[in-house]
Structure 1
Amino acid sequence: MTKTVLITGCSSGLGRMTAIHFASQGWNVIATMRKPEPELAENHPGRVLVHPLDVSDRQSVDTAIAAGVEHFGGLDAIVNNAGITMLSVFEATPAEAFRRIFETNVFGVVNVIQSALPHLRQRARSTIVNVSSGVGFAAVPLLSAYVASKHAIEGLSESLSYELESQNIGIKLVEPGAMRNTNFTATGMSASEAAVVPEGYKTYFDHALQSMINYPFASTDEKSVAEAIYAAASDSSGRLRYVVGPDVEEYARLRWSTSEDHYLAEMSRLTGQSAWREMAK
């Protein structure tokens, strides 16, 4: 029987590539986005259903899932990919910006999972894939709201991995590294332009931003992440985490294979924090 997956955030970038990859592997795809673009369905006739979905609107989520289930006859997996970010100094990050990020990155995931669960439980085995990030377990500066939202997804996913085992539903976390020159990055930078940098932070902000520009790792490509998402959705084992990218592989090694002191020292070096301390002396 052909499997069906619902994917959020398919208008561009990783979500779009993931939808195409699942379709190319013979899956039915419910490709959702806030403003539907029919091209995906036109390029994969009979295989892809494009439907509007705003993860922050539970009614919109329910409607999209119901339409997808009616169209394809069931649901075997969901991929929570939709997300937003913002680069800012925490002290000057507006509360509404924090809430907006959590509304999409956390409560949006909650909405989709809760709406999908009654359908997923009807399958003998189904899967939920939550697209997190390397910063979900290894924090970096200037991304406090985004980092906090991804830490929330990491905790939610691990807790659900135990709870939903009773329903034969697997939970997977895909943790990509930094993907440069993507629509996600561009949107995040656009939102960041509106954030004020307080005078006392300007020197530090410029240094931290330059450290991001001079990132010591190669960029993670979207194709590799899409393939990892597909592998996670297809994996019936109890594995929880799928790290993708040279930076996240190193972060994972430091986080879970070394001491806390060594981890913090190395992360300070990789993020430019230790260099800042020397400059500030």
Structure 2
Amino acid sequence: MSHLPTILITGCSSGFGLDAARLFLDKGWRVIATMRTPSEDLLPRSENLRVLPLDVTDIESIRRCVEAAGPIDALVNNAGIGMLGPLEETTLANIREVFETNAIGTIAMTQAVLPQFRQRRAGVVVNITSAVTLKALPLLSVYTGSKAAVNAFTESLALELAAFNVRVRLVAPGRAPSTSFGDNAHRLIGDAVPEDYAEFIRRVFAARQEGINSPVTHSQDVVEAVWLAVTDPAAPMLIPAGADAVALADI
């Protein structure tokens, strides 16, 4: 029996992770789809699919997941959370949660699979970053900081793993209206913001509303970029995903 290439994708309960799992299944890969609260109903039934629990902020959860998954050929670090609001009224607890999930979680998952990649002299790591790292935007300092850390981590790691034939790449999605990030914006800002910020926040959201018909990123853009990053050794280090992300990358 020929070996089916195997991919482990984090954050598969919705959005890019869920759609990436569907794509790789359709392409004939064996897929390890992970999520905090596993649901077998989100993806089509397949003998090539395993759904495993994973909390990327919990080192024991990571260890159990990687052990249960067995040998894999590719890792996609997609799990992440958003944060929108003025830094002044963002709690350190929330800041730590964003960095623990987006940056430390990515690092910890990568570290957990590297021994098998190094020993086999083969493997691919694809980290999902964000187009907000390509251009500064207001009210996103914490989120952007966490994703910028992923960028720098990935670029440096690629250099140290090249000798082992392990590839490391970045996919940078733009603004995706189909995700919950924008829907949660007002809730994330909360009610404790000083009045001095009120007019600035109003202008930011007005500008966002005015640009509602401007180019955006669709999930298909992202999963195609992930497919390219995983399967094409000649893929660039950073792949912008979506028309708006491509435009920012060209600035």
TM-score normalized by the length of structure 1: 0.84
TM-score normalized by the length of structure 2: 0.94
Residues of 1 paired with 2:221 and 2:166: CA distance? Answer: 24
Report SS of the residue matched to 2:185.
helix
One-letter code of the match for 1:78? L
Offset of residue 190 of structure 1: 6.3
Higher Rg of the two aligned structures: 1
Residues of 1 paired with 2:32 and 2:133: CA distance? Answer: 27
One-letter code of the match for 1:80? N
One-letter code of the match for 1:107? I
* Unmatched segments (≥5 aa) in structure 1: 255-281
Question: Which residue is equivalent to 1:199?
Answer: 195
Report SS of the residue matched to 1:116.
helix
Offset of residue 27 of structure 1: 0.7
Contact 1:128 1:170 in 2 (8 A): yes
Residues of 2 paired with 1:143 and 1:50: CA distance? Answer: 32
The sequence identity of aligned pairs, in percent, is 37
Question: Which residue is equivalent to 2:154?
Answer: 157
Offset of residue 119 of structure 1: 1.9
Offset of residue 67 of structure 1: 0.5
Q: Runs (4+) of structure 1 moved beyond 4 Å?
A: none
* Structure with more helix by fraction: 1
**Matched residue count:** 248
Report the RMSD for the aligned CA atoms in angstroms: 1.6
Residues of 2 paired with 1:81 and 1:58: CA distance? Answer: 17
Offset of residue 231 of structure 1: 1.2
Q: How does 1:97-116 map to 2 (within 5 A)?
A: 97-116=94-113
* Unmatched segments (≥5 aa) in structure 2: none
Q: Deviations over 1:109-145 (max 9, x none)?
A: 0110011111222334210000001012322111111
Contact 2:229 2:235 in 1 (8 A): no
Report SS of the residue matched to 2:119.
coil
Q: Does 1:147 align with 2:149?
A: no
Contact 1:6 1:31 in 2 (8 A): yes
Question: Which residue is equivalent to 2:37?
Answer: 35
Q: Deviations over 1:69-119 (max 9, x none)?
A: 1xxxx1110000011012101111111111110010001001100111112
Residues of 1 paired with 2:186 and 2:204: CA distance? Answer: 18
Residues of 2 paired with 1:29 and 1:136: CA distance? Answer: 29
Question: Which residue is equivalent to 2:50?
Answer: 49
Offset of residue 189 of structure 1: 2.5
Question: Which residue is equivalent to 1:2?
Answer: 4
Equivalent in 112, 121, 125 of residue 128 of structure 1: 125
Offset of residue 193 of structure 1: 4.4
